[in-house]
Structure 1
C-alpha cells in the first residue's frame, strides 16, 4: 500500500512539472497568436484605404503560405490539428521526433492561425503539450508505458492552457485520446491540467474564454424545441465531418495543381474578410461573443454560417498547423443562433433565451462530430463559466450524439488518424515488425475462417496461440475468442495494419 501511495505521489509531481512546462509553452503560443493577429488586423485596416498596404498584406500571406508548406515538407507530423498524431503516438501507431514537432508546430501554428485563417489554437496546443511531455519523459528516462502516461498528461495540459478548462481537458484525454481511465493516467492528466491552467490564468486572467452574460435557465416547456435543435446539429455535424474528411480527394483528382497553390488560396481569400469583416476570421471565439452580445439578424447569421463553414474547410485542408476544435464550436454557436432566431420570429421562443441556445448548440455540435459527449458538456460549462445550462446542455448533446450515431458517424479525430495511417503505397520490403492481437467474444474474427477475414494488404499471419498451443494457420483455420494472433508487416505499415486488424478483433 505504501508503495502505491509513493507511486501516486510521484505521478502528481510528474504531472505538475509537465503542466508548468506545457502551460508556459502553450501560453507563449497564445501570446504569439494574439499579438501577431492584432498586427494583421491593423495592416488589413490600413489596406482598405492604401493599395501599398494591400500589396504588402498579400505578399506577407504568400510568404507565410510558403513557410508553412516548407515546414510541412520537413515534418509531416505537424500537419493540421495534432490531436490525431497524439492519439496515434499513444496507441503506438505513430512515432515522431518530439523536438522537430514542437519547434515547427510552434512556429507554423503561430503564423497560420494569426494570419486570419479559420483555424483554432487548441489542437496545436494539445500536440505542443504532448510533445513537451514527450521531451520531459526522455529527460526522466521513462519506459515506453510510463512515457505514454506522461504524454497524455501533456495533452491535457495543452488543452487546459489553451481554454482554461482543466476538468474538461482531463476528460477529453481520457475519453477521446487515450481511451483509458486508469488511476495513473487520470492522476497525471489532472495534475498537469490544473498546473497548466494555473500558469495560463496567471498570464491571461481568470475570465472564461467564452464568458457570456445571461441569467435565465431554459424552462421545461421549451425542451421539445431542443429535440429539433439536436437533430439539426447532428445532421449538420455529419455534413461538416464529410466535407472536412473528403475535400482533399478533390485536390487529388486535380493532381496537376501543385500543393502550394491549394495552401495559398485560403490565405488570399481571407484578406477581404480581414479588411471588411474582421470579427469573423480566426478560430471564431470573437465572433461567438459578438453574436451573443448584439444578436444579429437572421440573414447575417446565415451568411456568417456559410462563410465560416467553407472557409473552415478550406483552411484546414491546407494541412497547416491549426485545429478545428474552436471552429467547430463557432459553427455550433451559429446553428443554435439561427435556430433560436427562427423560433423567436414565430413567437414560440422568448428573446431572453437566445444566448442559451448559442451555448448549448456549441456542446451538441462538438459532441456529434468529436463523439465525446461528456467532454463537450464539461468543456462548454467551463468555457462559459456557468452551470446554469447543464441540464439543457446534456439534453441537446445526447440528441445530437444519437443522431450521428444512428447515421453511422465516427469520431472525426479517429478518422483523421486512419487517413494518416493508410499508406499511399504499401511497402513490401524493408524492416519487418510483429503485431499481436487478442480476439474478443462477438468480434468479426470470432468463429470465422482465416480465408473469410478481410485482412489488410501487406501483412501475413505468422501464428495463432490457443490454450498455450501454437497453431500454424491456413485458410481453413477457424479463429476463436481468446486466440492470440501474431501478424508480420513492414515497419512503416504497422499503424495502418494495426488499426485495421484491431477493429476486427474487438466486440462492437
Structure 2
C-alpha cells in the first residue's frame, strides 16, 4: 500500500527534472573551475618575472608531459577533445564514461591549456558534463535508454556552460550527438543547459560573450559578394583543417615510443618556442578572439595569427592532448573574417572610394560571420554554429550574415568531408557506430510485453503456509503472484514467508495473511524505462503484468539483464521470455571408469570426426571418459520439451561416438538435447556431468560486432568453470610441427599437461616455443619463462624443444611469419576471459592469427579457480 501511495511522487518526469537540475549545476561548476583555472595559469605564464624564452618552452614541455601522464595512467579515454568518446557511448559502444574520466579530463585539460597548447576547453566540458551525468545514472540505476538521455543532458550542459550558450548546447546534442527530438530528451537537455549556462555566467563571468554595440553589426548589398567569398574560403580552409587533424594524428602515431606524455610534451615545447618568436601565438583563445573581433589589428598581424593558430592547433590535437577544436575554430574564423574585411575595403577603395565608408559592414561583422562559417565547416553542425555566435552577441542583425557564411561554408566543406568528423575520429580507433536515432536503437519502443514471461507460476490466496513452503522448495523462483478467483490480489516473496515462519505462525495463517496486497503492476504496453523506474525506485525485483486485474505475465530484473546481454553480445534472437532449461531427447551412457570427463559438442557430421579424434587422444592421455553431445537449437516461442527431433539425422554422430568407443577402449557417453541457447546448455551439461575439459570446434572466424570469436565459443571461454580447448581445423590435420607462442602465465603452464596427448596425433612431432617482444622495449633477451618452459617440456616429453625470441610490433604477424618459416602444422595459443573493450584495445590475437593463416589453431583457456 505504501508503494502505491509513493508512486505518484516517483513519477518519471519529476525524477528527470531533479536529475537535470543536478547535472546542470555540477556541469556548470566544473566549467567555471576549468575556465578560471586556465585563465589564471595563462596570466601567470605571461606575467612571470622569468624571461619568456625560458618560461614558455619549459611550461609547454612540463605541463604537456604531466597532462599526458595523467591521461595515460588514470584514464586513456580522456585524451583528445572528448566529444568522440561521448558520441561513442551514446551509440552504445563500450567506452568508459564515469566520474574518474570526468575528473582526469578536468585536470589534464587544465594542465594542457594552462601550459599554452592551442586547444579549447569547450570540447572537454562536453565530456566532463557527460561523465558526471553517466556517474549519476550509476548511482541512481535506470534503463539504458534513459541513461543515454542523462548523458546527453550532461553533454549539453557542458557545452552551454563552456560558451554561456544554453540554446547551442541543446542544438549540438540534437544535431550531432543524439539526434533524438523526443520530449523527454529535449526537456532534460534544455533544463540542464539552462542551469549550466546560468551557473557559468554568474560565477565565471561573461566568458566568451562579446558585448558589442548593435550599430557595429550591419549588412548592405555591397557586402554580399564578400560574405559569399568568406563562406567559400571558410569552407575550403575548414575542410583543409579537418584533413590536417587526421594527418596530424597519423603523424604522431609514428612516435608511439614517446608515449602520450612525450608526444604532448613535444607539442607543448614547440608551441612555447613559437610563442617566443610570435607573441600572438602565446595569447589564449579568449584574448586573441576579442582582439581579432574588434578590428584593431592590421592585416599582416591577422594573417600571422591565422597561420600560427592553424598549425599549432593541428600540432596540439594530433599529439592527443586534452582539449577541443571549438575555440580554435572560432579564432581562425575571426581571423579569416578580418582578412576578408580588409579585402572588401581594399576592393572598394580601388574604385576611387566611391562607396561611403558607412555603407560597408565593419570588421567586427566580418569577423563574427567568419567565426560561424569556419566553425560550421570544421564541425559540420551549421545550425549550432549560427546559434553559438548569435548567443555570444545577442544581436539579431548578425543572423543573416551568419546564415550566408555558415551555409555556404558547410555546403563547400561537406562535398570534401567524409561524414561526421567525430565518426571518423572514432573509426581511427576501431570504433564504428551506426546512427543513434530511434530506428537503430535496440531499446526504442521496447515494452513490457516484449520481455515478460507469459508462463507464470502462481499461488492461491487460500493456500496454507506449509503448502507455500513446499511450493517455494520445488521452484527456483523467489516470489510468486497470488491469485484469488483468477484475479491478481497480491504477491509473496521468500522474505515474507521467512518472517511468518520465524514467528511460528505458519500453522495458523494462510497466504492471504502474509502476502503484499494490491501489488504495483504494469500493463503490457508499459515502456522499458517505466518498468525499470518502478523496479529501481520501489526496490523490487519483479513486476506483474496485468490487463485490468487479469495476470498476463511477469517481468523480472533477470529478464531485462538477459535482454541487454543479448544485445551487447551481438545475438540476433528476438527479445522475449527467458530461455527455458534444455530437454534431454536421447542419452546413452558408458561405464563410469574414468578419472574425469571430456566434453565434445558435435554439430556437423563432416567436421565431427576431426574433433572426436583430437578429443579421444586427450581423453586417453588423461584417462578421461568422453562425453559427446549434440544440441539442437529451437525457437524461444516453443518449449524444448515440445519439439520433435528426428533422431535419424543425428544417427551419424551417435555411430561416430560408438566407433571411437570400440577403437580407443574409452568409456564414451552420447546425448542429444533440445535447447533455446546452445552456450547455456553446454554450461548446464558441464555442471551436471562434472566436466573437467571441453573441446569444441571453431570453423569460421567471426567479424560480428560485439563478439570476440563466436557466440557459443565466447560463452564457454568466459563462463565455463573448467579448462576449454577450441580447435580451428587447418588445411590438413597433421600434427608433426607444433608452434607454441608464450608470454608466461597460467595458460602456458597448462600447455604442459595437454601436449603429451596432443603429440600422439603426429609422428615424431617437433616443438617450437616463441615469445614476441615489442621493438619499443629495446633489446629482448631470452625470457626466463621461455627457457624454463622449454626445459620442463624436454624433461617431460623426452624430445628437443627449440626456442625463438622475436622482435616485432605485431604479435600476430610475428607468429604467422615464424609458422611459415618453421613449416608448422598447428599453433597452440592462449585464450582470455577479457571483456570486449580489452579485446578491442589490445587486439584479438587469436582471431588475427586465424585470419592470416590456414594452419590448425588450438586455443587453450585454463581452468579458473575463481568460478569453481
TM range, smaller chain: 0.7 to 0.9
1:377 equivalent in structure 2? 386
> What secondary structure sits across from 1:388 in the alignment?
helix
Question: What displacement does 1:434 show?
Answer: 3.1
Residue pairs, 1:101-250, within 5 angstroms: 101-206=101-206, 209-213=209-213, 215=215, 216-250=217-251
Question: What displacement does 1:57 show?
Answer: 5.3
> What secondary structure sits across from 2:348 in the alignment?
coil
Structure 2 CA distance for aligned equivalents of residues 34 and 207 of structure 1: 10
Residues 300-342 of structure 1: per-residue CA shift (max 9 Å, x gap): 2111111111111111112111111100111111111111111
1:66 equivalent in structure 2? 65
Greater Rg over alpha carbons, structure: 2
Q: 1:253 to 1:95 in 2, by over 3 A?
A: closer
> What secondary structure sits across from 1:389 in the alignment?
helix
Q: Which has the higher strand share?
A: 2
> What secondary structure sits across from 2:95 in the alignment?
coil
Question: What displacement does 1:197 show?
Answer: 1.2
Q: 1:229 to 1:414 in 2, by over 3 A?
A: same
Are residue 325 (structure 1) and residue 322 (structure 2) matched? no
Structure 2 CA distance for aligned equivalents of residues 488 and 153 of structure 1: 27
Q: 1:79 to 1:191 in 2, by over 3 A?
A: same
Q: 1:260 to 1:203 in 2, by over 3 A?
A: closer
Structure 2 CA distance for aligned equivalents of residues 24 and 242 of structure 1: 34
Structure 2 CA distance for aligned equivalents of residues 220 and 57 of structure 1: 46
Which stretches in structure 1 are left out of the alignment for 5+ residues? 49-53, 424-430, 439-462, 466-484, 496-508
Which stretches in structure 2 are left out of the alignment for 5+ residues? 1-6, 350-354, 433-564, 574-632, 636-702, 709-835, 842-868
2:51 equivalent in structure 1? 47
Residue pairs, 1:312-461, within 5 angstroms: 312-347=313-348, 350=357, 352-422=361-431, 434-435=569-570
Q: 1:254 to 1:360 in 2, by over 3 A?
A: same
Q: 1:283 to 1:329 in 2, by over 3 A?
A: farther
Question: What displacement does 1:218 show?
Answer: 0.7
> What secondary structure sits across from 2:304 in the alignment?
helix
Residues 349-379 of structure 1: per-residue CA shift (max 9 Å, x gap): 8564211111111111111211111111101
Structure 1 CA distance for aligned equivalents of residues 205 and 65 of structure 2: 35
Structure 1 CA distance for aligned equivalents of residues 57 and 233 of structure 2: 38
> What secondary structure sits across from 1:421 in the alignment?
coil
Question: What displacement does 1:266 show?
Answer: 2.4
User: Contact between 1:113 and 1:282, CA under 8 Å: does it hold in 2?
Assistant: no
> What secondary structure sits across from 2:707 in the alignment?
strand
Structure 2 CA distance for aligned equivalents of residues 87 and 393 of structure 1: 27
Structure 1 CA distance for aligned equivalents of residues 279 and 328 of structure 2: 15
Residue pairs, 1:303-318, within 5 angstroms: 303-318=304-319
Question: What displacement does 1:421 show?
Answer: 3.0
Match of 1:29 among 24, 27, 34: 34
Structure 2 CA distance for aligned equivalents of residues 486 and 260 of structure 1: 35
Structure 2 CA distance for aligned equivalents of residues 387 and 436 of structure 1: 52
Q: Which has the higher helix share?
A: 1
User: Contact between 1:18 and 1:192, CA under 8 Å: does it hold in 2?
Assistant: yes
Are residue 10 (structure 1) and residue 15 (structure 2) matched? yes
Q: TM-score, normalised by structure 2?
A: 0.47
Question: What displacement does 1:165 show?
Answer: 0.3
1:489 equivalent in structure 2? 707
1:427 equivalent in structure 2? none
Question: What displacement does 1:409 show?
Answer: 4.3
Spell out structure 1 runs of 4+ moving beyond 6 A.
2-5
User: Contact between 1:309 and 1:331, CA under 8 Å: does it hold in 2?
Assistant: yes
Structure 1 CA distance for aligned equivalents of residues 211 and 278 of structure 2: 22
> What secondary structure sits across from 1:319 in the alignment?
coil
User: Contact between 1:120 and 1:283, CA under 8 Å: does it hold in 2?
Assistant: no
Structure 1 CA distance for aligned equivalents of residues 414 and 180 of structure 2: 21
Q: 1:217 to 1:422 in 2, by over 3 A?
A: same
Question: What displacement does 1:139 show?
Answer: 1.9
- State the structure with bigger RCO (CA 8 A, min sep 6), 1 or 2: 1
User: Contact between 2:23 and 2:154, CA under 8 Å: does it hold in 1?
Assistant: yes
Structure 2 CA distance for aligned equivalents of residues 410 and 211 of structure 1: 35
Structure 1 CA distance for aligned equivalents of residues 8 and 174 of structure 2: 25
1:468 equivalent in structure 2? none
Structure 2 CA distance for aligned equivalents of residues 262 and 346 of structure 1: 45
Structure 1 CA distance for aligned equivalents of residues 363 and 55 of structure 2: 41
Q: 1:420 to 1:222 in 2, by over 3 A?
A: same
Structure 2 CA distance for aligned equivalents of residues 436 and 281 of structure 1: 53
Structure 1 CA distance for aligned equivalents of residues 261 and 21 of structure 2: 41
Q: 1:281 to 1:8 in 2, by over 3 A?
A: farther
Q: 1:291 to 1:206 in 2, by over 3 A?
A: closer
1:38 equivalent in structure 2? 43
Q: TM-score, normalised by structure 1?
A: 0.79
Q: 1:193 to 1:395 in 2, by over 3 A?
A: same
User: Contact between 2:372 and 2:389, CA under 8 Å: does it hold in 1?
Assistant: yes
